[in-house]
Structure 1
Amino acid sequence: MGKNKVISQEQAAALIKDGDLVTAQSIGMAGYPMHLVKGIQKRFKEQGHPRDITFMWSCGLGNWTDGQGADPLVGEDGLVKRIITGYVGASPAAVKRVVENTIEAYLLPQGAITQLYRSIAGHKPLVSQVGLKTFVDPRLDGAKSTIITKEELMEVVKIDDKEYLRYPNLKMNVSLIRGSYADENGNISIREEVSHLELLEAASAAKNSGGIVIAQVAHLVKNGTLDPKEVVVPGGIVDYVVVAPAEDHKQTQGVVYDPGLSNQVKVVMNEDNTTPFPLSAKKIIARRAAMELKNNIVLNVGVGTPDLVPLIAQEEGVDDTYMSTIENGIWGGNPVSGLDFGAAYNAESIISMANHFDLYDGGVLDLTVLGIGEVDEKGNNNVSMFSDQVAGPGGFINISQNTQNIVFVGTLTVGGKSHIEDGKVVIDKQGKAPKFVKQVKQVTFSGEFATDKKQNVIYVTERGVFELHDNHLRLIEIAPGIDLQKDIIDQMEFEPEVSADLHEMNPDIFQEKWGKLADIINAKD
C-alpha cells in the first residue's frame, strides 16, 4: 500500500509554506474542504504561519456570510497576500479586502481557471479568446482588480492573425480537494458530493508542478471497496488524506447529506407545486426573456432575475422543451437555489467543470439569460465590480462571449418601483440611479466583441427592450403605459437610438394570466 496517507487537520495545515499558491474548489459551499481551511486558519492564529500565500479558486465560494467560504483565510491579516478567483462576491471579508484595496486580486473567468489547471498539469499554455476586450484583457485592466495589484499576468498573442489571451503559467504548490470517500491508497470518490467541480484538474496541476495534494473526505474505506469508475482522483496523485467531522463536511451549506442532491436517488418532485408567482416588473422581464426560448435548445441562466425564466417556463408548461445546464457541469434535472445552490435533483448528466466549459466555449449553448449590472451606450455590461461592491465575472465571460443568442435582463434603474395595472406599467418611483450609464466601471461583456462576432443580443427591462446594433444600443420595444422620454430616455445617462420600427412589447405578458408561451415557441419551428 505504501506510506500511510491519513494525517490530522493539524499535520495538513503544517504542510502549507509561506508564499505557497494554494487552491481549493467549491460552488457555494458544496465541495469545499472547510476542515482543511479551518486548520490553516487555526495554525496561522497560533503560529503566524503560513504567511503571504496566494489563494486561488474558480467558482463562487461561500454563502455571503462572514466566516464562510474564503473568509477564514482571506480575513486574517497577513495570511493571504494575493487572490486569483472567478468570483469573490460570496465571501464578505474577501469582498471587503478588494473594495478597500488591501489585497492583490486578479478576477479571471471561471471557466478559464478550471481549464488553466488542466493546462498547468500538462505543461501546456492556455490560449483562449475568452476575455478579449473585457477587463481581463491587458489593454484594459489585465484582470487586476485592486490598485496594489501590479504584476501583469495576462498577455495578448496572435495566432494565424487572430488575437487570443495567454493565461499565466502558475506553479501550484498545494491543492486542497474534497471527496466523499478515500481508500487506504488515497483514491477519491465523490459519491455523496453534488458535482465533480475541477477536482482532477486542480490535483493534477499541483502534482505536476511538484506540489502536494491534500484530500478532505467524510469516510475512509479499505482498498478494493471503491468502484474504480467512480474514482475521480486516483490515489497515485493524492499525497495526504484528512477525515473531516460531519460539521466541516456538509454536502451543501444547507444540508449535511441528501442523496437526492448527489443524484444517488431520483426524487419525486411536486408537480402540482406550480402556483404562479405574483405579477411584477421582474415577472414581466422574465416573461419577455422566456419568449426567446425555442424547442430542443441548450440553455443556461444566471442567478437573480434570470433564474425566474425556468419558473416562467414551468408555469407555462414548457419546461420540457429545453435542456438546462449549470456552470459546474450539471445537465438537466431540477436545479436548486439558496443554501443548496450548485446542486440539482434528478440530473441527467454531471461532468467535470473544465470539460463543461469546453462545451460552453465551443458554442454548445443556444441561449443564455444573464443579468444586467450596468450597461453603457456601446452595449458593454458590467456585472463584476462597482464602487462599493465586487463580485467577479464567474462564468459570465465564458458564457456571454460564446453563446450566439444572449438576453440580458434587469430593471432600467436602481431602486425604481413600479406595478402592473390594467395591462400597463405604472411607475411609482423613478429610481435613485441609472443602470444605463455613459461608461461602465468595468467591462465584463464587450459590445464590440459581440458586434464583431455577430451575436444576437437584447437587453430586456420592465420599460422596454434594447438590442445591440452595430456596437450601440437601439430601443426596439416599449412597454404599455411607459412614456418614451420621461420613463426611458430621461432615466439613462445617454440617449439611445430609437428604432424606426419601435413597437409595443407583447401586451399579453402584462396580464395576470398568460398561457401563450407554448404557442410562441412552437411558431418558431
Structure 2
Amino acid sequence: MAFPRILTADEAAALVPDGAVVTVSSSSGLGCPDAVLAALGRRFETTGHPRSITTLHPIAAGDMWGIKGIDHIAREGLLAKVLAGSYPSGPSSAAPPAIWRMVTGNEIPAYNIPSGILFDMHREAAAHRPGVLTKVGLDTFVDPDREGCAMNARAAAEPVVSKVQFAGDTWLFFPSIVPRVAIIRATTADERGNLSYEHEGGYLGPLDQALAVRNNGGVVIAQVKRLAQAGTLKPHDVMVPGILVDAIVVAPDQMQTTQTVYEPAISGEVFRPLSSFELPAFDVSKVIARRVAQELTRGDAVNIGFGISANVPRILIEEGRHGDVTWVIEQGAVGGVPLLDFQFGCASNAECIVPSPYQFTYFQGGGFDASLLSFLQIDREGSVNVSKLGVRPHVTAGAGGFVDITARARKIVFSGFFSAAADLAIEGEALAIRREGKVRKLVNAVEHVSFSGRRAVAQGQDVTYVTERCVMKLTPDGIVVTEIAPGVDLRRDVLDQAEFQLLTPTPPRLMDASMFRPEPIGLRLKEAAR
C-alpha cells in the first residue's frame, strides 16, 4: 500500500462512495471525528453525494452539547440505515436531535445493538467469518422474540439477528456486516499514518474498525489533532499502525470529550489530588449512593454506569475508602475515578486504559465482580428498562454496553428513585415523602426489557435494587423488600406504590440511619470470603 495522504476534511469526505457501509469510532463526544462527519454533511448538501450510506456506531457518535456527530449526516437521502450501541441523548425539554427524528419518524431502519456485540461483528468481518454467535441479549429487547434490536417498523422488517440452535443450545446470531469505510480518531499521526492516543480519554475500538475495513479492501480515514514526523512515535504508543490508514485529516481544534477541550488527567498525563474531586451534596440521591456503596466488597473490580451510581466512587473518596475497589468502565478506563456529567465515560487517574472491545469481552464473560447501574422501570419479574422512555425516547441514549455488562454479571446493584417526580426530603435522620411521585417505576411489565429478570434468576445472578425508601432483592419467588428507610411506611409508601405484589416474607429491617446525616457514615466494605 502507499503511504496515507494528508487531506482536508472535505477531501476525505469525497472518498466515501454511494451506498457505503461506514463505521465510526466515537463514544458521544469522546473520540468523535466530528470534522470529517461535518464534511460528509457539507458534501451531501452541495453535491447530493454520498447517497444511501449505512453507518455503524459501536458506542455513539456525538451529543447535544456541541459535538453533533451523527447529526451532521442525519439527512434524508444521505443516511439509509444506522446500527448503533447508543444515540445522542438530552433533556426532555430540548428538541430531539435530527437522528432521533429520523428514527421515530420511521424514515430509516434503525437498530440498537449492544456495543460489545457491534465490536464483535467488526472482528468477525475482519476475519471473513460469518458472524457473531452469542448468548448476550437473550430474553431482552435484543432477542428476536422481542424487538430483535429494531427501533422502528422499518428495522423490524429487516432483521439483523436471529435465534439459532447450535451444539444443543440456543444462541443469538448476528451476521457479519462488512464496512467499506472507517472514520476513526486519534491525537497524533505520523507521516506514515501511525496513530497514537496520548490526549484521548479512551482508545475505544479504532483498531478493530480499521482491520475490518482494511481486510475487506476499504478506506480508513483518521482524524487527528496533529501531525508528526515519520519515526518519531514510540512503537508502544501506536495503537493503530499506518499500514491500516489511507487518509489523515488534521483537525487541531478537536475536543477531547463533551464540553472539554483538553484535561490531562483524563488522558493519564497527570494525576489529580483526591481532594480536587467535588463530593456529592447531601441530599436524597446521596443517601441512595451511600446505600449502594455498602454493597461493595473490598478488592472487587466494579463496573459503573450512568445515574446515581456514578457518584459511588466519590462516596468512597469521602469515606477514605478510595482504592478499596477498582472501577472499570466500558470506554476502557481501569481504576482511578470515573467522571460525571459531560465527561462521563472518562476517568481521571486511571491505572490503565484498554481498548473497548477487550473491555467488553471482559464484561460479556463475567470476569468482573459487580456492576452498579440505574433503572427507569422495574417489573414483577425483576426485569429492568434503561433504554426506552415513552414518547420522548431521545431522553435515553439506548442501551450502549448495558446488555453486554449485565448478561453474565455475578452481582448487579440497580439504583434509582422509587417513583418519578416525588417531592422528597431528609428530616430528622429520616426520609420525608412530601408528595408521592407522578409516575410509577415499579410496573407490571417494563416498556423495554434491557435486563431480563427471568434469565437472571435462571443463571443465579445476585440482583439488588436500591431506592431512597427501600432495598429489594430478586428471588425465584419474586422481588422481596429487605430494608426500608426511617420515616417510611411499608404499606403506604412501598407496597401500595408498586403495580405488582412486592414480597415481605419477613419484616424489612431499617436502613442504616447514619446515611441520613450529612457527615461521613464510617463506611466499611464487605470482606471477600477466604
Instruction: Tell me the TM-score range normalised by the shorter chain.
Output: over 0.9
Partner residue of 1:305?
Answer: 308
Partner residue of 1:400?
Answer: 406
Query: Helix, strand or coil for the counterpart of 2:225?
Result: strand
The answer to whether structure 1 residue 364 and structure 2 residue 367 are counterparts is yes
Q: Please give the alpha-carbon distance, in whole angstroms, between the structure 1 residues aligned to 2:65 and 2:27.
A: 14
Q: Please give the alpha-carbon distance, in whole angstroms, between the structure 1 residues aligned to 2:392 and 2:239.
A: 36
CA deviation vs aligned residue, 1:113-163 (integer Å, no higher than 9, x gap): 122211211122321111111010111111011122111110222333222
TM-aligned CA deviation for residue 272 of structure 1: 6.8
Unmatched 5+ stretches in structure 2: 91-96
TM-aligned CA deviation for residue 271 of structure 1: 2.3
Asked if the contact 2:85/2:113 (under 8 Å) is kept, the reply is yes
Which one-letter code corresponds to 1:87 in the other structure? S
Q: Please give the alpha-carbon distance, in whole angstroms, between the structure 1 residues aligned to 2:405 and 2:70.
A: 24
Partner residue of 2:273?
Answer: 269
TM-aligned CA deviation for residue 339 of structure 1: 3.1
CA deviation vs aligned residue, 1:311-340 (integer Å, no higher than 9, x gap): 211111112201011111111112222333
Where do 1:147-226 residues align within 5 Å? Answer: 147-149=153-155, 150-226=157-233
Is 336-345 or 291-300 further displaced after alignment?
A: 336-345
Label 1:478 to 1:268 Cα distance change in 2 as closer, same or farther (>3 A). closer
Where do 1:41-120 residues align within 5 Å? Answer: 41-65=41-65, 68-74=68-74, 76-90=75-89, 92-120=97-125
Question: Scaled by the length of structure 2, what TM-score is found?
Answer: 0.93
Label 1:359 to 1:276 Cα distance change in 2 as closer, same or farther (>3 A). closer
Which one-letter code corresponds to 2:329 in the other structure? I
Asked if the contact 1:57/1:86 (under 8 Å) is kept, the reply is yes
Correspondent of 2:326 among 316, 323, 328: 323
The answer to whether structure 1 residue 136 and structure 2 residue 142 are counterparts is yes
TM-aligned CA deviation for residue 27 of structure 1: 2.0
Q: Please give the alpha-carbon distance, in whole angstroms, between the structure 1 residues aligned to 2:361 and 2:206.
A: 16
Q: Please give the alpha-carbon distance, in whole angstroms, between the structure 2 residues aligned to 1:416 and 1:465.
A: 17
Partner residue of 2:93?
Answer: none
Asked if the contact 1:294/1:524 (under 8 Å) is kept, the reply is no
Query: Helix, strand or coil for the counterpart of 1:499?
Result: coil
The answer to whether structure 1 residue 25 and structure 2 residue 31 are counterparts is no
Q: Please give the alpha-carbon distance, in whole angstroms, between the structure 2 residues aligned to 1:471 and 1:95.
A: 39
Where do 1:413-432 residues align within 5 Å? Answer: 413-432=419-438
Label 1:521 to 1:126 Cα distance change in 2 as closer, same or farther (>3 A). same
Label 1:4 to 1:275 Cα distance change in 2 as closer, same or farther (>3 A). closer
The answer to whether structure 1 residue 227 and structure 2 residue 234 are counterparts is yes
Which one-letter code corresponds to 2:318 in the other structure? E
Q: Please give the alpha-carbon distance, in whole angstroms, between the structure 1 residues aligned to 2:173 and 2:326.
A: 32
Q: Please give the alpha-carbon distance, in whole angstroms, between the structure 2 residues aligned to 1:58 and 1:361.
A: 15
CA deviation vs aligned residue, 1:381-421 (integer Å, no higher than 9, x gap): 01101222332111111111221111000111111111111
Is 471-480 or 128-137 further displaced after alignment?
A: 471-480
Asked if the contact 1:365/1:403 (under 8 Å) is kept, the reply is yes
Label 1:209 to 1:433 Cα distance change in 2 as closer, same or farther (>3 A). same
Asked if the contact 1:479/1:504 (under 8 Å) is kept, the reply is yes
Q: Please give the alpha-carbon distance, in whole angstroms, between the structure 2 residues aligned to 1:471 and 1:445.
A: 18
The answer to whether structure 1 residue 449 and structure 2 residue 452 are counterparts is no
Runs of 4+ with deviation above 4 angstroms: 272-276, 522-525
Query: Helix, strand or coil for the counterpart of 1:385?
Result: coil
Label 1:297 to 1:67 Cα distance change in 2 as closer, same or farther (>3 A). closer
Asked if the contact 2:202/2:267 (under 8 Å) is kept, the reply is yes
Correspondent of 2:526 among 513, 521, 525: 521
Query: Helix, strand or coil for the counterpart of 2:481?
Result: strand
Q: Please give the alpha-carbon distance, in whole angstroms, between the structure 1 residues aligned to 2:4 and 2:182.
A: 19
RMSD: 2.0
TM-aligned CA deviation for residue 522 of structure 1: 4.9
Is 113-122 or 132-141 further displaced after alignment?
A: 113-122
Q: Please give the alpha-carbon distance, in whole angstroms, between the structure 1 residues aligned to 2:430 and 2:265.
A: 42
Q: Please give the alpha-carbon distance, in whole angstroms, between the structure 2 residues aligned to 1:440 and 1:389.
A: 16
TM-aligned CA deviation for residue 514 of structure 1: 4.3
Label 1:3 to 1:62 Cα distance change in 2 as closer, same or farther (>3 A). closer
Partner residue of 1:121?
Answer: 126
Label 1:52 to 1:67 Cα distance change in 2 as closer, same or farther (>3 A). farther
Asked if the contact 2:8/2:249 (under 8 Å) is kept, the reply is yes
Which one-letter code corresponds to 2:54 in the other structure? T
Label 1:516 to 1:192 Cα distance change in 2 as closer, same or farther (>3 A). closer
Partner residue of 2:94?
Answer: none
Asked if the contact 1:56/1:83 (under 8 Å) is kept, the reply is yes
Q: Please give the alpha-carbon distance, in whole angstroms, between the structure 2 residues aligned to 1:219 and 1:420.
A: 52
Q: Please give the alpha-carbon distance, in whole angstroms, between the structure 2 residues aligned to 1:506 and 1:28.
A: 38
Query: Helix, strand or coil for the counterpart of 1:37?
Result: helix
Over the matched positions of the two proteins, sequence identity in percent amounts to 35
Q: Please give the alpha-carbon distance, in whole angstroms, between the structure 1 residues aligned to 2:274 and 2:485.
A: 35
TM-aligned CA deviation for residue 276 of structure 1: 5.8
Asked if the contact 1:21/1:171 (under 8 Å) is kept, the reply is yes
Correspondent of 2:510 among 492, 499, 504: 504
Q: Please give the alpha-carbon distance, in whole angstroms, between the structure 2 residues aligned to 1:396 and 1:417.
A: 29
Q: Please give the alpha-carbon distance, in whole angstroms, between the structure 2 residues aligned to 1:378 and 1:392.
A: 21
TM-aligned CA deviation for residue 344 of structure 1: 2.1
Asked if the contact 2:73/2:79 (under 8 Å) is kept, the reply is yes
CA deviation vs aligned residue, 1:347-403 (integer Å, no higher than 9, x gap): 111111101111111222211110011111011101101222332111111111221
